Amino acid sequence: MEKRPEDGPRSGPYNGIKTNQNTATRKHFMSKRRGPQRSAPGESTEPTPLPSAEEAASLEVICEDGPVVAVNKPAGMLSQGSPQGVFCLPDYVKAYLKHKYEKPGNVYLGVVHRLDRPVTGVVVFSRNSKGAARLAEQFREREVQKVYLALLENVPDQPEGTLKDFIRKVPEQARAVIEPGETQEAKAAELSYRVLASDGKYALVEVLPKTGRMHQIRIQFASRGCPIVGDQLYGAKKTIDLKPLTDDYTQRIALHAWKLTIKHPVRYDDLTIQAPPPADWPEVAHRLFRNSGSAE
C-alpha cells in the first residue's frame, strides 16, 4: 500500500517533483517559545505547552494510517531534543493531533527515527507505544527502505553505483570523517545511487542508503568531489538562496527524504510514504538544470 499526497512525485527523472504549497506558513516553525516545562515528580501536573492550533495547521501531514502518522519535515527544525524554549517537530505533531481529535491533557507520540536538521522530508511517528516499539525495531534492524533525492555539485563518475566507506563520528565538531579501514570508531557505510538528471556541473540523484551512519549521504558524495548543494560543512560551494527560516538558523542543504517504506505496525503489509520536495526545489533545479534536456 502506498500513501502519498495527490501532488506527490510521479515517475520520470524530474517531472514528478512537485512543490510543497505549505511554505508560506513556515514562518511559524521554531518562532514560538515554550511555556513552563514539565513538572518535577511529585508536583502538580499541567499539560505540556504545545504550538497553537494555527501553528499546528502549518504542519504538512502526509499520512495517517492507524497508529502511523507521517509528516514532511521542513529544513531547520530538529526532529527531537530541541533546546529549551524551542518547539521541535514532535511538538507540532502532538499539537496537530491534540487539536484535530480534541484530546485533553498530554498527547502520546512515539519518536522512532530522525532526520538531520538541514534535511527535509518524510518523518514517521506512532500514536501509541506498541506501534512505536514495532516501528523502532524496523529502523534498528534496517528493515525500512529509504529513498532520498539530492542535488550534487559536480556529476558522479558513473551514472549509477554503490559507495562503500568507513565513517567515524567527530562529536566535538558535529561532523563525520571517512577512515581508510574499519576500527572501533569507524563503521562500515554503504549506499546505492542513480543519476536522474545532470547538466555536466550538477546532478540530481536518487539515493538508497543501506546503513544509517552519521551524515552518511553527505560525506560519501562529498569525499568523491560531489558535495550536496548548500552543504558547506562538507565543502559545497553553492548555497541555496532562501529567506531565513529563523533568525538564528538559516542552513539548508538539497537533501530530501523522498520515500520511506515500512511494515505497517498493525496490518504488517508494506506502507510506502512519500513527501514532495520543498517549494524552492523546482526553482533551484530549474536554474541548475536549465541546460539539461531532462530537467523539464
pLDDT at residue 148 in the model? 97
* Choice among 7-16, 138-147, 182-191 with the minimum mean pLDDT: 7-16
Nearest to 199 by CA among 104, 291, 275, 94: 291
Give residue 243's pLDDT band: very low, low, confident or very high (50, 70, 90): very low
Name the band, by pLDDT with cuts 50, 70 and 90, for residue 2: low
Percentage of the chain exceeding pLDDT 90: 60
Which whole number is the average pLDDT over 186-197?
96
Average per-residue pLDDT in the chain? 81
| pLDDT exceeds cutoff 80 at 82 | no
How far is the C-alpha of 110 from the C-alpha of 262, rounded, in Å?
15
Parse the chain into domains and list their residue ranges: 2-7+19-143+258-286
Residue 12 pLDDT > 70: no
Q: In this structure, are residues 230 and 256 in contact, taking their beta carbons and an 8 Å threshold?
A: no
Mean pLDDT of 150-171: 96
Q: What are phi and psi of 61, to 5 degrees?
A: -85, 125
Residue 295 has pLDDT above 90, yes or no: no
Question: How far is CA 67 from each of CA 50, 109, 148, rounded to the nearest angstrom?
Answer: 20, 10, 24
22 has a pLDDT exceeding 60: no
Query: Does residue 277 register a pLDDT over 70?
Result: yes
Report percent pLDDT > 70 for the chain: 74
pLDDT, average across residues 279-290: 60
Cα(148)–Cα(218) distance, rounded to whole angstroms?
Answer: 11
Q: How far apart are CA 202 and CA 100, in angstroms?
A: 42
Nearest to 109 by CA among 160, 58, 61, 177: 61
Dihedral angle computed from the Cα positions of residues 132, 135, 141 and 145, in that order, rounded to the nearest 10 degrees: -150
Mean pLDDT along residues 96-107: 93
- Which pLDDT belongs to residue 286? 55
Cβ atoms of 228 and 120 closer than 8 Å: no
Average pLDDT over residues 131-144: 97
What distance in Å separates the CA atoms of residue 284 and residue 296, rounded to the nearest whole number? 13
- Categorize the per-residue pLDDT at 56 as very low, low, confident or very high, splitting at 50, 70 and 90: confident
CA angle (129 as vertex; 4, 134 as ends), nearest 5? 65
CB 168 within 8 A of CB 133: no
Least confident of 86-100, 212-226, 238-252: 238-252
